[in-house]
Amino acid sequence: MTSTNKMKRRAILAFMQNRPGVLNKISMLVRRKMYNVETITVCTTPQPGISRMTLTLYEDSDDKMTQVVRQIEKVTEVISAKELDIDQSFWREVAIVKFEADSDRMEQLFDQYRIEMLDHQNHEVFIVQLAGTSKMIDDFLLELGNDIIIEVARSGFTALEK
């Protein structure tokens, strides 16, 4: 999920009422501001009826980010929204990767990355899961190389303040 541009990756954390259409309202609002949402993850919270959304996009301007957050906060169902400081929060994602490799290569990968084996098919086709920073996942995929990767599914970011 790397961007071809050099803009700064930003994350917005929002808590909202868990109602139909809220996610659409927020994503449409962000789109109207001419931003391309990079990732969006939503989950329930321990508080009944409240959902938590982490939205990532690219933007260099602090003023523009402040404006987007303020607009999100104006959505009736939104309880709170703020930008997460990358230095004061943890950003993680999960990837499931299907690829071809021999057992020696797999041993190297297990030693170098914290991967979890999900499935092993036809002696040399593996499906693994890894969780961590996007850089770690990007590095893993680069090391594998496109010639042996069969399929990749990535979750998008979730983030938590320190």
Band (18; pLDDT cuts 50, 70, 90): very high
Other Cβ atoms less than 10 A from the Cβ of 16: the count is: 24
Band (2; pLDDT cuts 50, 70, 90): very low
What's the whole-number mean pLDDT along residues 123-143? 93
Q: What is the mean pLDDT of the chain?
A: 90
**CATH numbers and ranges of domains, the chain:** 9-84 (3.30.70.260), 89-161 (3.30.70.1150)
- Is residue 160 within 8 Å of 88, Cβ to Cβ? no
